[in-house]
Amino acid sequence: MRGLNILLIALEAVRLNRTRSILTMLGITIGIASVTLTVGLGLGAQQQVKDQIGALGSNLLIVSPGSSTSDGVRGGFGSATTLTRADAEALASQEVAPSVAGVAPVSSTSQTLIAGSTTWTSQVVAATPSWQQVRSRELATGEFITDQDVADRSRVVVLGSETAQELFGGRAVGQSVTIADTDFTVVGVLESTGSSSETSSEDDTVLMPWTTAATTVGTSVSSVSTIYIEAASSDLLSAAYQEVDAALSTRHGTTADDTADFSISTQEAIVSAATSTDRTMTILLGGIAAISLLVGGIGVMNIMLVSVSERVREIGLRKALGAKPAVIRSQFLTEAAVLGLAGGVLGLGIAALGAAVLPRFLDQPVQLVWWAVAGSLVVAVGVGLVAGVYPAGRAARLSPIDALRHE
């Protein structure tokens, strides 16, 4: 019951000094809102990177060719033509790579697409029917490339959602599109992944049978630019990596990493590299935002010291009537905690509003998670309590006689 009375007294003291209380809470409010939004932006950026990389496919390995050398100048990885369709066929064998569930070799070239009076430039991918499974892509409408299309060198294409929208603005299946002076029929449109970068988009693509691409847009019949490999499960991703590396090393006659004419990357490695910068920036910005929270705590301490100075006679009267130092200390600590909690709740409200509004201007999600919200409230109350310890102790140590004499 005594605890309830102390809480009621603390609430009444906060209410009677509304202006001072609001100014006290302002520092904590700004600090909590800043920290919460900073963490939310960082988590949102990391999730966005994971989603974009996840759009590549599930349990994915990406095999790229090595570097080329021309006139003594060595190009970067991916510039050589060291990967072949024969390599892809070998990796698809269960005897060679039992942990591999699917293999999709591709070649790509930039081409201008013409549909009526509309033109659009996109990446044309020479693909196999296994591409859809390996890349974990769904169709919005129509159907995907079939084995029969490959055998017949059918002049059919599957468009990415962005490409279809740019060319036709609506229904694309059944429409005709001209690529390299050849007419193709659109047989399917891929579901949007929402994954894009400054230079490319997973939704801006054109897929056609690799046999057709070789005779129309000039891609190679034997060499490929990338081999996408799907592991049988996430647990077998490491095993699939080892099997693919061993198989290609044997086929290409290489025995060491420094002589390998290919490279293998995994989603985990890509995600780790892409999110490391976001994580570092989140910590840095979070530290800067925490400074404002520290300033808010100092503000609470200053206001509570002023409150003790203004209420010396009140403290003396309560002590003269029998209030123990522990009760006085508890009263001021409760006031500080109430101010911290109120500032924290108001700060979280501002953060929630910012999380709803900022993505419209930043084109980046803000992810508020329960542990960040709960942690913010705990920190807010903790700041209030820590800031109130010294003022509460000072109030508890006042002598009743000296307090009653105070002017």
Could you tell me the pLDDT band of residue 1, with boundaries at 50, 70 and 90?
Answer: very low
Backbone torsions φ then ψ of 153, nearest 5 degrees: 55, 45
Is 342 found in the same domain as 204? Answer: no
Q: How far is CA 76 from the centre of its chain?
A: 29
In a domain, 148, yes or no: yes
Q: Supply the pLDDT for residue 198.
A: 47
Select the more confidently predicted residue: 40 or 113: 113
In a domain, 115, yes or no: yes
Is 224 found in the same domain as 92? Answer: yes
Is 205 found in the same domain as 174? Answer: yes
In a domain, 59, yes or no: no
In a domain, 267, yes or no: no
Classify the phi-psi angles of 363: left when phi > 0, otherwise alpha if psi is within -120 to 50, otherwise beta: left
Q: Supply the pLDDT for residue 229.
A: 93
Check if the beta carbon of residue 344 is closer than 8 Å to that of residue 376: yes
In a domain, 176, yes or no: yes
Q: Supply the pLDDT for residue 202.
A: 82
Q: Supply the pLDDT for residue 73.
A: 39
C-alpha angle 156-160-165 in degrees, rounded to nearest 5: 105
In a domain, 123, yes or no: yes
CA gap 32, 261 in Å, rounded: 52
Condensed to tens digits (0 to 9), the pLDDT of residues 145-157 reads 999 999 999 999 9
Is 192 found in the same domain as 107? Answer: yes
Q: Supply the pLDDT for residue 69.
A: 41
Is 299 found in the same domain as 244? Answer: no
Could you tell me the pLDDT band of residue 328, with boundaries at 50, 70 and 90?
Answer: confident
Domain that holds residue 109: 83-260
Is 176 found in the same domain as 320? Answer: no
Could you tell me the pLDDT band of residue 258, with boundaries at 50, 70 and 90?
Answer: low
Q: Supply the pLDDT for residue 193.
A: 80
Select the more confidently predicted residue: 256 or 167: 167
Check if the beta carbon of residue 28 is closer than 8 Å to that of residue 350: no
CA gap 104, 128 in Å, rounded: 6
- Which of 129-143, 257-271, 357-371 comes out lowest in average pLDDT? 257-271
Is 285 found in the same domain as 330? Answer: yes
Boundary residue ending a domain (196, 230, 260): 260
Beta bridge partners of 112: 121
Percent residues over pLDDT 70 in the chain: 79
Is 400 found in the same domain as 315? Answer: yes
- Which of 226-235, 348-357, 361-370 comes out lowest in average pLDDT? 361-370
Is 280 found in the same domain as 233? Answer: no
Boundary residue ending a domain (208, 232, 260): 260
Query: Once rounded to an integer, what is the mean pLDDT over residues 74-100?
Result: 79
Select the more confidently predicted residue: 119 or 300: 119
Select the more confidently predicted residue: 224 or 72: 224
Select the more confidently predicted residue: 249 or 194: 249
CA gap 113, 124 in Å, rounded: 9
CA gap 325, 314 in Å, rounded: 13
- Mean pLDDT estimate for the chain: 80
Q: Supply the pLDDT for residue 81.
A: 67
Q: Supply the pLDDT for residue 78.
A: 43
Select the more confidently predicted residue: 269 or 12: 12
pTM of the model: 0.60
Could you tell me the pLDDT band of residue 63, with boundaries at 50, 70 and 90?
Answer: very high
In a domain, 72, yes or no: no
pLDDT at 203 over 70: yes
- Which of 97-106, 224-233, 360-369, 395-404 comes out lowest in average pLDDT? 395-404
pLDDT at 15 over 50: yes
Total domains in the chain come to 2
Q: Supply the pLDDT for residue 80.
A: 52
Is 47 found in the same domain as 89? Answer: no
Query: Once rounded to an integer, what is the mean pLDDT over residues 299-322?
Result: 71
pLDDT at 131 over 80: yes
| Tokens 């105070």, residue located | 406
In a domain, 78, yes or no: no
CA gap 257, 228 in Å, rounded: 20
Is 213 found in the same domain as 101? Answer: yes
CA gap 13, 2 in Å, rounded: 17
Is 145 found in the same domain as 219? Answer: yes
Boundary residue ending a domain (260, 290, 325): 260
Please return the burial class of 402, using the count of CB atoms within 10 Å of its CB with bins 0-12, 13-18 and 19+: exposed
